C-alpha cells in the first residue's frame, strides 16, 4: 500500500454555502473510503478567502488565484495499491458535479525520486 | 448449611468480594494484592462455616467487613512481629500501618475507583486487562471468565498470572488517585470498560445470564467514574450513555435458546424505558461541551436506534457512522456503516459499498451481503449466509443465520 494525496481544486468556494445534501455526499464519499480502511489522513479544508501568496522580494499578493482561475480547496491522503486504485477512489467524489477536479499524487518515500 | 446462606453467599461474594479486595489493596499496596485477596477469600470461607452452623447474621455485609478487618489486623501484627524479632531483609508491605482498615462507603468507592485505574495498566494487553478487570473488579471466577471468553480455564489462568506479575511490578499508587495518573490512564480505562461491556453485549457465549452480568458490571464501574469529579469527563458520560442505550435492548435481543434476535425483529415493548431515559440523561451531560469522542458518536448512534423509525433516522445514523469510521477504522464499524448506507440509499447501492470492503475472512461481512441480497437475489443471499455459517465461531450467530436460510428457502418454495 502506498500513500496518495488527493488535491481538490474548485473554481467556486465549496466551503461557503454547501447544502446539507452536498455535505452528506462528501461525508459519504470519505466514509466509504474509510470503510475500506484506505483513508490514511482525512486532511484539511483550505480557506478560499484567508489566502495569501508570498513571492520573492517581499511581495505578498491576495489569494492563490490571481493568475489561475482554479484554487486548491482541500486535500486528503488515501492508501492504495497503485495510482490506478487511487484514481478510482477519487472518481466517486461529488466534486465533479460542481465543476471541480482532483489531482492525484503519490507521496514519495525515501529512495523513490520518481 | 441452611438454604438462605446457600443463595445469599454467592450473591454477597459477587457484590462484596471486589469491594473488600479493593479496600485491602489500598491498605497493603498493590504489590501485596495476593495478601488482600487471601484475606477476603478466608473471610468468605469462614462465613460458609460459621453461617452454616449459627445461621446467617443479622447484617451479613457488616459481619464480612468485621471479619476481614480483624484478619487484616492479625496479619499486620504477625508481619510486625516477624519484622522486629527476626529482622528479616524482607520489606514491610507498603502502607503498613497500625490503623484499622476502614470499610466506610467513601473508602470503598475511592478504593474501587483507584483499582480500576490500577488494573487498566497499558503494559498489559487489552485481553489481559479485561480478564483482570473481571477477576479483581467484578469478582468473577476463572471458570466464569473462561466461559465468557469461550476459552480454556488454563489459558485464562496463565493470562491472569502474567498480567498480575505486571501489576505487582507497577508502582501504581492506589492510596490516592492523582490527577496525573487519571489523565494518563483515563483513555485506557474507558477503552477497557467499553470492551468489557462489548464482551457481554456481543459475547460469544450463549449464556444470557453471563452476558447480562458482564454488561451490568461494566455499567457499575463506569458509573463509579461519573460519580467522582476527577473522572466525570464528557467521554465517560458518553460511554455510560452508550451502555445504557445498548442495555435497554438486552432482554429484547435474546431468544429463548440464547440466539440473537435481529434488531428489526425485536419486540420493542421489551426495551427498557428506564435505561433509555438514563442514556438520554448521560448523553446530555456528555454533550455539554465541544469534546467529541468515539463514545459520543457511538452513543449518538445507539440513541437513534432507540427512536421510532422516521424518514430521517437512518440518515442521522449513517452520518454518525461516517464520522466514526473516519475517526477510527474497525471492520465492525465498516460493516455497520454499510448497513446504514443501504438503509438510506437502498440495497443495490449498499451492495456496491459492501463489496468494496472485501472483508473476506469475516462472517459478519457475508451475513451483511446475505441480508442485502435477500430481496434482490435470494439464491445469492443463501450462498452468502452459508459462507457466514462456515466462518462464524458463535453458536448464537449460527442459529440466527440458519433461521434466515430456512426462511428464504421456505419463501422460495412457497413462490413455486
Q: Which triple of cell numbers denotes residue B256? A: 429463548
Residues making up chain A, counted from first to last? 114
Give the pLDDT of residue A56. 95
Helical (H) or strand (E) element with B310: none
Q: Do B337 and A24 touch (CB under 8 A)?
A: no
Could you report the per-residue pLDDT of A43-58, keeping only the tens digit for each? 999 998 898 989 999 9
B380's CB contacts (< 8 A; 6+ apart) are B373
Beta strand pairing call for A71-80 and A101-106: unpaired
Contact of B259 with B400, CB cutoff 8 Å: yes
Within 8 A by CB and 6+ apart from B369, the residues are B351, B354, B355, B381, B384
Residue B385 lies in a domain: yes
Whether B380 is covered by a domain: the verdict is yes
A35 vs B315: CB contact, 8 Å cut-off?
no
- Among the partner residues B315, B323, B338, nearest to A35 by beta-carbon distance: B338
- DSSP helix/strand/coil, B250: coil
pLDDT band at B87 (very low <50, low <70, confident <90, very high): low
Whether residue B356 lies within 8 A of chain A, CB to CB, comes out as yes
The confidence band for B377, taking pLDDT boundaries of 50, 70 and 90, is very high
Please report residues of B whose CB lies closer than 8 A to that of A37.
329, 334
The per-residue pLDDT for range B208-228, each reduced to its tens digit, is 777 788 898 899 999 999 998
- Min CA distance, A66 vs chain B (Å)? 34
For residue B191, count other CB atoms closer than 10 A to its CB.
17
Using CA coordinates, name the residue in chain B closest to A78: B326
pLDDT bracket for residue B93 (50, 70, 90) = low
> Which three-class secondary structure state does DSSP give residue B307?
coil
> What is the pLDDT, as a whole number, of residue B285?
93
The pLDDT score that the predictor gives to residue A68 is: 64
Q: List the single residue in B with minimal CA-CA distance to A42.
A: B326
Counting one residue from A and one from B, how many pairs have CB atoms under 8 Å apart? 43
State the pLDDT confidence band at A73, using cuts at 50, 70 and 90: very high
Q: What string of DSSP letters covers B55-90?
A: ---SSHHHHHHHHHHHHHHHHHHHHHHIIIII--SP
The reported pLDDT for the residue numbered B95 is 46
Q: Give the per-residue pLDDT at B1.
A: 45
**Would the pLDDT of B331 be above 50?**
yes
pLDDT confidence of residue A77:
98
Look at A27 and B325 and tell me if their CB atoms are within 8 Å. no
Q: What is the mean pLDDT of residues B25-49?
A: 88
What one-character DSSP code corresponds to residue B254? B
- The answer to whether A34 contacts B341, with C-beta atoms less than 8 Å apart, is no
Side-chain-side CA neighbours of B186 within 13 Å: the count stands at 20
For an interface test with B, give the residue of A31, A36, A94 to mutate (most B CBs within 10 A).
Answer: A31
Region for B162 from its dihedrals, namely left if φ exceeds 0, alpha if ψ lies in -120 to 50, beta otherwise: alpha
Helix (H) or strand (E) holding A60: strand A59-62
Give the model confidence (pLDDT) of B354-368 as tens digits: 999 999 999 999 999
Chain A hits for B334, Cβ within 8 Å: 34-37
Q: Which of A20-34, B191-205, B295-309 has the highest mean pLDDT?
A: A20-34
CA triplet B154, B160, B162: central angle to 5 degrees?
105
Residue B196: its pLDDT value, please? 87
Shortest CB distance from A31 goes to which of B315, B325, B358?
B325
Q: How many CA atoms lie within 13 Å of B332's alpha carbon, on the beta-carbon side? A: 3
In a domain, residue B359? The reply is yes
- Record the cell numbers describing residue B132, joined without a space: 483482570
User: What CATH number is attached to the domain comprising B341?
Assistant: 1.25.40.10
B222/B118 Cα distance (integer angstroms): 15
Check residue A2 and give its pLDDT.
95
DSSP letter for each residue of B255-287: -TTSPBPPGGGS-GGGS-HHHHHHHHHHHHHHT
* Residue B334 forms part of a structural domain: yes
| Cα gap B58→B174, rounded to integer Å | 32
What's the grid cell of residue B97? 500501618
Give the β-pairing of A2-10 and A59-62.
unpaired
Q: Is A24 on the interface with B (CB under 8 A)?
A: yes
Pairing of strands A71-80, A39-45: antiparallel
pLDDT at B89 over 60: no
In a domain, B142, yes or no: no
B319 to A36: CB separation less than 8 angstroms, yes or no: no
C-alpha cell at B271: 426495551
Q: Which of A58-72, B14-28, B105-119, B378-392 has the highest mean pLDDT?
A: B378-392
- In this complex, do B358 and A32 lie within 8 Å of one another by their Cβ atoms? no
Which residues, listed in sequence order, are joined to residue A77 by a DSSP beta bridge? Answer: A5, A41
Strand order across the A101-106 sheet = A39-45, A71-80, A2-10, A101-106
For residue B233, pLDDT over 90 is answered with yes
Give the chain B residue whose CA is nearest to the CA of A27: B322
Strands A2-10, A71-80: pairing is antiparallel
Separation CA B372–CA B404 (nearest Å): 12
CA angle B180, B183, B185 (to 5 degrees): 105
Cα separation of B295 and B316, whole Å? 16
Mutation target for A interface from B301, B327, B329, B362: give the one with most A CBs within 10 A. Answer: B329
Q: How far apart are CA A90 and CA A85, in angstroms?
A: 9
Residue B311: pLDDT band by 50, 70, 90 thresholds?
low
Q: What is the DSSP string of B163-217?
A: HHHHHHHS----SS--HHHHHHHHHHHHHHHHHHHHHHHT-S---HHHHHHHHHH
CB distance B263 to B304 below 8 Å: no
Residue from B317, B321, B325 to probe the interface with A (highest A Cβ count within 10 Å):
B325
Whole-number Å distance between alpha carbons of B334 and B342? 12
Greater confidence (B92 vs B26) lies with: B26
Q: What mean pLDDT do residues A8-33 have?
A: 93
What backbone phi and psi angles, to 5 degrees, belong to B103? -105, 35
Residue B374 and residue B383: Cα distance in Å, rounded?
Answer: 11
Average pLDDT of every residue of chain B: 86
Nearest to B326 among A24, A36, A39 (CB): A39
pLDDT-above-70 percentage for chain B: 91
> What secondary structure letter does DSSP report for A51?
-
3-state secondary structure of B362: coil
Q: Is A30 within 8 Å of B334 when comparing Cβ atoms?
A: no
In this prediction, residue B259 carries a pLDDT of 66
| Range scoring the smallest mean pLDDT among A63-72, B147-156, B277-286 | A63-72
Q: Least CB-CB distance to A27: which of B319, B329, B358?
A: B319
User: What residue ranges define each of the domains in chain A, with the CATH number in brackets?
Assistant: 2-106 (3.30.70.1060)
Q: State yes or no: pLDDT of B261 exceeds 80.
A: no
Is 90 exceeded by the pLDDT of residue B237?
yes
The reply to whether B33 falls in a domain is no
Q: What percent of chain A has pLDDT over 70?
A: 96
Q: Is residue B125 part of a domain?
A: no
Supply the range of the domain harboring residue B396: 314-416
pLDDT band at B234 (very low <50, low <70, confident <90, very high): very high
CB B135 within 8 A of CB B142: yes
How many independent structural domains does chain B possess?
A: 1
* Contact across the interface for A36 and B321, Cβ inside 8 Å: no
Which of B334, B336, B354, B362 should one mutate to test binding to chain A, selecting the residue with the greatest count of A CBs within 10 A?
B334
Q: Which three cell numbers mark B189?
A: 480505562
- Cβ under 8 Å to A: B residues 303-322: 315, 318-319, 321-322
Sorted by sequence, the CB contacts under 8 Å of residue B186 that are 6+ apart come out as B231, B233, B235, B236
Asked if residue B36 belongs to a domain, the reply is no
In chain B, residues with a C-beta closer than 8 Å to the C-beta of A35 are 325, 329, 333-334, 337-338, 353, 356-357
Which run of H or E residues covers position A102?
strand A101-106
Query: C-alpha dihedral over B279, B281, B285, B287, to 10 degrees?
Result: 60
Average pLDDT, chain A: 92
A76 and B326 Cβ atoms separated by less than 8 Å: no
Closest chain A residue to B334, measured at CA: A35
Amino acid at each position: 500500500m502506498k500513500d496518495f494525496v488527493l488535491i481538490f481544486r474548485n473554481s467556486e468556494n465549496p466551503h461557503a454555502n454547501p447544502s446539507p445534501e452536498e455535505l452528506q455526499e462528501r461525508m459519504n464519499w470519505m466514509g466509504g473510503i474509510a470503510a475500506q480502511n484506505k483513508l490514511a489522513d482525512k486532511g484539511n479544508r483550505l480557506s478560499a478567502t484567508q489566502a495569501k501568496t508570498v513571492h520573492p522580494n517581499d511581495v505578498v499578493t491576495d489569494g492563490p488565484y490571481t493568475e489561475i482561475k482554479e484554487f486548491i480547496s482541500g486535500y486528503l491522503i488515501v492508501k492504495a495499491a497503485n495510482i490506478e486504485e487511487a484514481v478510482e477512489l477519487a472518481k466517486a467524489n461529488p466534486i465533479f458535479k460542481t465543476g471541480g477536479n482532483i489531482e492525484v499524487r503519490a507521496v514519495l518515500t525515501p529512495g523513490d525520486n520518481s | 448449611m441452611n438454604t438462605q446462606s446457600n443463595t445469599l453467599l454467592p450473591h454477597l461474594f459477587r457484590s462484596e468480594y471486589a469491594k473488600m479486595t479493593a479496600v485491602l489493596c489500598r491498605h497493603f499496596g498493590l504489590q501485596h494484592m495476593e495478601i488482600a485477596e487471601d484475606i477476603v477469600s478466608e473471610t468468605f470461607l469462614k462465613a460458609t462455616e460459621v453461617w452454616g452452623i449459627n445461621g446467617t447474621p443479622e447484617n451479613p455485609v457488616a459481619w464480612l467487613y468485621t471479619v476481614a478487618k480483624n484478619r487484616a489486623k492479625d496479619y499486620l501484627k504477625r508481619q510486625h512481629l516477624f519484622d522486629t524479632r527476626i529482622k528479616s531483609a524482607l520489606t514491610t508491605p507498603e502502607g503498613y500501618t497500625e490503623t484499622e482498615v476502614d470499610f466506610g462507603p467513601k473508602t470503598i468507592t475511592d478504593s474501587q475507583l483507584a483499582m480500576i485505574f490500577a488494573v487498566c495498566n497499558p503494559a498489559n494487553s487489552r485481553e489481559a486487562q479485561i480478564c483482570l478487570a473481571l477477576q479483581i473488579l467484578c469478582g468473577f471466577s476463572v471458570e466464569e471468565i473462561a466461559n465468557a471468553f469461550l476459552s480454556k480455564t488454563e489459558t485464562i489462568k496463565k493470562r491472569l498470572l502474567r498480567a498480575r506479575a505486571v501489576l505487582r511490578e507497577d508502582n501504581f499508587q492506589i492510596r490516592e488517585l492523582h490527577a496525573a495518573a487519571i489523565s494518563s490512564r483515563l483513555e485506557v480505562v474507558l477503552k477497557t470498560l467499553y470492551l468489557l461491556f462489548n464482551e457481554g453485549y456481543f459475547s460469544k457465549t450463549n449464556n444470557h445470564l453471563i452476558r447480562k452480568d458482564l454488561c451490568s458490571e461494566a455499567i457499575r464501574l463506569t458509573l463509579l467514574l461519573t460519580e467522582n469529579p476527577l473522572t466525570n469527563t464528557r467521554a465517560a458520560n458518553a460511554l455510560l450513555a452508550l451502555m445504557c442505550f445498548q442495555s435497554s435492548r438486552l432482554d429484547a435481543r435474546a431468544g429463548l435458546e440464547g440466539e440473537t434476535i435481529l434488531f428489526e425483529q425485536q419486540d420493542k415493548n421489551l426495551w427498557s424505558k428506564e435505561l433509555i431515559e438514563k442514556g438520554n440523561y448521560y448523553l446530555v451531560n456528555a454533550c455539554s461541551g465541544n469534546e467529541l469522542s468515539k463514545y459520543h458518536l457511538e452513543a449518538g448512534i445507539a440513541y437513534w436506534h432507540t427512536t421510532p423509525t422516521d424518514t430521517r433516522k437512518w440518515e442521522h445514523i449513517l452520518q454518525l457512522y461516517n464520522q466514526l469510521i473516519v475517526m477510527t477504522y474497525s471492520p465492525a464499524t465498516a460493516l455497520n456503516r454499510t448497513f446504514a448506507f443501504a438503509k438510506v440509499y437502498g440495497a443495490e447501492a449498499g451492495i456496491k459499498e459492501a463489496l468494496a470492503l472485501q472483508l473476506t475472512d469475516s462472517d459478519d461481512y457475508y451475513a451483511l451481503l446475505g441480508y442485502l441480497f435477500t430481496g434482490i437475489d435470494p439464491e445469492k443471499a443463501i450462498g452468502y449466509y452459508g459462507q457466514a455459517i462456515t466462518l462464524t465461531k458463535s453458536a448464537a450467530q449460527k442459529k440466527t443465520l440458519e433461521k434466515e436460510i430456512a426462511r428464504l428457502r421456505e419463501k422460495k418454495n412457497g413462490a413455486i
